[in-house]
Amino acid sequence: MSKVRVLVGTRKGAFILSSDGKRENWDVSGPFFAGWEIYHMKGSPVNPERVYVSQTSAWFGQLFQASDDGGKTWYQPGVKPDDPNAQPQWPPVKSNRFVYDSSEETGKPLTTHQWYDGTQHPWEFKRVWHVEPSLTDPNTVYAGVEDAAIFKSTDGGANWNEMPGLRGHGTGPKWQPGAGGMCLHTIILDPKNPDRMFIAISAAGAFRTDDGGKTWKPINKGLKSQFIPDPNAEVGHCVHHIAMNPDRPNTLFMQKHWDVMRSDDAGDSWTEVSGNLPTDFGFVIDVNSNEPETVYVVPIKSDSEHFPLEGKLRVYRSKTGGNEWEELAKGLPEKDCYVNVLRDAMAVDRLDKCGVYFGTTGGQVYVSPDGGDTWKAIVHDLPAVLSVEVQTIP
């Protein structure tokens, strides 16, 4: 029988929630890396026992961790997991070394972006927001970072190099940080085209490469953002998250700062599908793994009030690819709920009856084992949840 492993990153450590295919009874392990911010963790589709973790701290900076046994034990790539105190251990660990490429040959010395006051500001590495393991090689992994850039490792996270074509393609000086920083938070690999990747940056927008990351172009046509001088600008949009059903990689769904959008041409153009949503502000969005036109969002009241409408936590589901949305409430808090659901904190499994998961800033992780019809809290009292990923293990 298949099982699922839910990887939960929180403000104060990582947790792993495990269940069989029924998704009724759960084992909770953790906290791992207790006291550290775990922005994201994700397993390799090729080798599910390989799990990558972004571990950060305002004091000690970025760390990168990995597991080869599904999260039972962890190591920093570059340190032998079975011999952590071997002497001498030199050269130094570099799995937390993220240095922007500013070479003439590749990085085209791009060193500034737009700052809050409109001036240009140097690029400064803060943290890794998102890790995306390769679809074909367990040792290849991508990292989306703040200040926005994408890095790649081909040795299991031991060494990282920027893919400089993204920052260097020309619009970088117009990118600007949102309230949460200028983060590259979404990386989507096209399962049918190994040269194609999608990324999203807040607040710059969505971008696509069709040549394995050498060159990139903005894909924001159709987005409208009232908070920038030209609402239809090529870049500057605050994209919160993008989701794709792997069986239909040309169709993308986007939760923007405001507006829920869809594209059927791999991002070349977007149309709004907010339809009858009670508010189209939000952070998360995901697509049912079995039904490519079934989409989930969690409406949040506004950009000024980051909590659900009327204190009722609700998921909204569209079975028509947007525009027509239904409220999903069964098992979710009916009142006095003022949590948020952050952009990387929703995921779906790949079981026959698609499971949907999301975590809240109040420390709850909810599961729906029936595609959203009913919900149940797996845990109630974790630290604020930053990210949720699911592994479906045969």
Shortest CB 98 distance to other proteins, Å: 9
Shortest CB 357 distance to other proteins, Å: 26
C-alpha span between 327 and 311 (Å, rounded): 14
* Residue from 63, 201, 254, 328 binding other proteins (CB under 8 A): 63
Of 123, 131, 120, the C-alpha closest to 189 is 131
- Report in angstroms the alpha-carbon separations of 263 from 91, 222, 249, 325, 331: 47, 9, 10, 18, 32
Q: Which of residues 71-100 bind other proteins (CB under 8 A)?
A: 76, 78-79, 84-85, 87-94, 96-97, 99
Name the residue nearer to other proteins (CB basis): 77 or 267: 77
Shortest CB 55 distance to other proteins, Å: 9
CB 206 within 8 A of CB 255: no
- Report in angstroms the alpha-carbon separations of 93 from 79, 90, 236: 7, 8, 36
Name the residue nearer to other proteins (CB basis): 100 or 198: 100
Residue length of the chain: 394
Q: Which of residues 111-170 bind other proteins (CB under 8 A)?
A: none
Shortest CB 52 distance to other proteins, Å: 17
Beta bridge partners of 368: 356
Residue that the structure tokens 């949590």 belong to: 339
Shortest CB 132 distance to other proteins, Å: 22
Name the residue nearer to other proteins (CB basis): 97 or 217: 97
Shortest CB 313 distance to other proteins, Å: 24
C-alpha span between 372 and 317 (Å, rounded): 8
Total of chain residues touching other proteins, rule CB under 8 A: 25
Q: Which of residues 27-46 bind other proteins (CB under 8 A)?
A: 35-36
Of 350, 351, 339, 349, the C-alpha closest to 315 is 339
Name the residue nearer to other proteins (CB basis): 249 or 362: 362
3-state secondary structure 324-376: CCEEECCCCCCCCCCCCCCCECEEECCCCCCCEEEECCCCCEEEECCCCCCCE
Name the residue nearer to other proteins (CB basis): 107 or 191: 107
Candidates 51-59, 138-146, 213-221, 311-319 — which segment interacts with other proteins by CB under 8 A?
A: 51-59
Name the residue nearer to other proteins (CB basis): 66 or 273: 66
Interface ranges with other proteins (CB under 8 A): 35-36, 57-63, 76, 78-79, 84-85, 87-94, 96-97, 99
